[in-house]
Amino acid sequence: MNAGDIVILDVEKLNSEGAGLARKDNFVIFIKGACPQDRLKCKITKAKKNYAEAEILEIITPSPFRIEPKCKLQKVCGGCVLQHIKYKEQLNYKRIIVEDTLYSILGEKVTINNPISSGKDYNYRCKVQYPVRSRGGKLQKYNTRLYAGYFKPGTHDLVNIKYCPIHPAICDEIIEFIKTEGELLGISGYNETSHSGELKHIVLRLSENNGDILVVLVVNLDDRMVSNKFNLLAEKLSKKFDRISGVAINFNPQKTNIILGKTTHLLTGFDFIEEKLSDIIFKISADTFFQVNPGCANIMFDYIKNYISNNFSTPKLLDAYAGIAAFGITLSGLCSAVTSVELNTHAVSNAIETIQQNSITNISVIASDSLEYIKQCSENFDIAILDPPRKGCGEEVLKNILRVTKNTIIYVSCSPKSLAQDLKYLLKNNCTIESIQPFDMFPNTPHIENVAIIKIN
């Protein structure tokens, strides 16, 4: 198999990144934009020792699952790579991906429940993070035309996006307004190569509960260099859009791929939005973690509540990697006591405020790294809820979780791979998997949220 070869391929399934998988003489070929059961005429673009990559030249026989994507930029944006596949088949594909990933790491087949639908497959995303750039080459510092969107897959080439069906339409309007008014005010976009320019990212956080929007302007400046241009932009935004409850500026002068810096100043309004989970209102600041799909998050939280209600009587609960203590707070009514552990100080402050406003008396919020707290912990819990970052927990956290937990681990994961790696350790240490339930928190993308119920024997 060589680059440039023209081949006819029948697509078997999709891989974990959403590319089609086909074989030619038992040689694996990945095809972006393919759909299971497509027959395609393709050109090999890259040939490796164990696999090849190809692009579609012609769809000879389209899959019965193939549809026209809503977004014209779907092929170049790289965000919603499954838009060309019927939603019901997307759910089936995601179940297979979780099964295949766990099997490849655990060496045994684990039954995966059918994914629970998001409830809506468009306009669901309530957090938007767009990198911002200027155009102009050598004249960049004089050219303040702003572009914002997502990077093409595998590159840092920005796709300027004016319409995205994944988030509510008001987001498109606000971002276009920021670009237009920012240009008029002389605000420059960030240049990665020279580490120059002012505006690095636009971050929007929306409340599905009341419609409020927090706008965060991430700048390549330190907090001693606030230009009046950003105050004027904040005022214009607040006057133009009634739904904007606050505009903040975040300072991130570091040359890094981390979006938010450590310091945020409020320019107008409020520095938080409010979201409802299980009839409790939570405050969400610019840099605190919260699920991007609140509708599906509510479904997932109800699932966990029902499980605990049906299987325990007033358990003692550990809520690790707690964020704003959403799990701990929503489950507190079922528990004798809850300990929520979180490192982010803003998230801890949000959690304490929510607890006080709801007069909840059986939760302790610990401002600490989860591992450091668990290592020193001498208490015993009936249930541990783990909602770690994408990289997973790791063996040291799990070893200590098993030391302090008597009965059940509820593991919430957005990465089948890291979930499988952590499950491998748990299975070797006297645990069994009771169930794995996927929730489609990210429709039209290859990503899936999973809730694993793990019994400690």
Q: How many CA atoms lie within 13 A of 313 on its CB side?
A: 0
Give 428: exposed, middle or buried? Use CB within 10 Å, 0-12, 13-18, 19+: exposed
Q: Annotated catalytic, 393?
A: no
Beta-sheet pairing, 51-61 with 27-31? parallel
Question: 195, 115, 111, 191: which is closest to 158 by C-alpha?
Answer: 191
Q: Are 456 and 407 in contact (CB under 8 A)?
A: yes
Separation CA 391–CA 422 (nearest Å):
10
Separation CA 273–CA 244 (nearest Å):
10
Question: 266, 294, 296, 301: which is closest to 206 by C-alpha?
Answer: 294
3-state secondary structure of 421: helix
Integer CA distances (angstroms), 283 to 41, 70, 232, 357, 366, in order: 52, 33, 26, 11, 18
Beta bridge partners of 127: 205
> Which entry of 35, 77, 296, 414 is annotated as an active-site residue?
414
The catalytic residue positions are: 414
